Amino acid sequence: MPTPEGYLYLLTIVDDFSRRIFGFLTKSQTEWMDIWTKFVLRIEAELGKPNCIAWVLTDNGAVYKSMAMFQFCAARGIQQRFSGAYSQWMNHTAERNMRTIGEMTTTTLLHANLPRRAWGYACMLAIDVNNRTADSVQPSFKNTMSRLERWKGKELPGQTKGLYPLGCLAFKLVQPDGRNKLAAHATPHVYLGIDSKSRSYLLGSLYDLKLTVSVEVTFHEHVFPFRRHKAEDNSLSFLWDAESMTLEGDPRRGMFDFTGDTPALKSLDLKTLKSIYASAQQTSTTTMPAASSRASPPPSAPSTPRQVPELKVDSSYPLLGLSAIYLHRT
């Protein structure tokens, strides 16, 4: 499925020493040669050393065995190494990183209920998370530095400052020259990652994901607007339908309904809260049966359990397995 920009493939290059991941979104596999030549020049300029890449390990794809690739690597003194056919374990570093990125992408998309076309933003954010978090926080472990710190050769205390949950609510500041005195000072968006070129936040509009960047953003990390929107291509949209879990007549039903053209969040007053608390107390107390000739059950016998309505699952949304990803923020 293409991204909103038309990208179809994810290309990753992993440094063997620091394990830092470089990710590139491409529209065709034929773009590899252009990406590789620019990448080599970028690394030589960043490290300040010409011919600093000793070898490259790839599979047996046609783009890696082209004549242009052979000539460029020979001119730069880069050795080309290839893994055996049907032997992904020979290139275990790249293959394992691709699996980790894929699992994180699937998990974050389902967690935020984003459409599948946002997979490109999820992949790039997963790469940033892997590069900016340490392999272990235990002092006895040898790799307590992140991949980015090992690449830079120094500690980076603020490296996780721009990382937020994918799809969380983000309010972008509207500049004074673009609004009047009675207009809103911020517009709601969703967080999609970090723009490395402008050192800004990538934001998507509601609910068409039109891309924009900004540095003046206020985040709400526990609010995910797309959970209120049933995505046609997300198989787990029904999980975030909170009102399907409540009984008919419950005062909490409809508290998040939208009224009019502008979504308005209904608040619960003190009287409604007291009624919810009273109904919960009434259903939680056990009732003693009336006296009869039959033996009465002991007082500790539980009452009839509260019947919860069956959750209706749309057959057009197949169930998928979930993988939990835990992010340690420093």
Separate counts of helices (H) and strands (E) for the chain: 6, 9
pTM here is 0.70
pLDDT band at 282 (very low <50, low <70, confident <90, very high): low
- Which pLDDT belongs to residue 169? 94
Using the predicted structure, report yes or no on whether residue 296 has a pLDDT greater than 90: no
* Strand pairing category for 217-220 and 211-214: unpaired
Residue 41 has pLDDT above 80, yes or no: yes
* Host H or E run for residue 127: helix 119-132
- Does the pLDDT at position 35 exceed 90? yes
Average confidence score pLDDT of the chain: 77
Mean pLDDT, range 102-123, rounded to an integer: 93
- Looking at residue 281, what is its pLDDT? 59
Taking each helix axis as running N to C, give the angle between helix 119-132 and helix 92-112, from 0 to 180 degrees, rounded to the nearest 10: 120
Q: What is the DSSP letter of 285?
A: S
Q: Is the pLDDT confidence value at 14 over 80? A: yes
Judge contact between 13 and 22, C-beta under 8 A: yes
Q: Which residue has the higher pLDDT, 262 or 79?
A: 79
Domains located in the chain, CATH noted = 9-152 (3.30.420.10), 169-228 (no CATH), 237-280 (no CATH)
Give me 213's structure tokens. 């960047």
For residue 250, is pLDDT > 80?
A: no
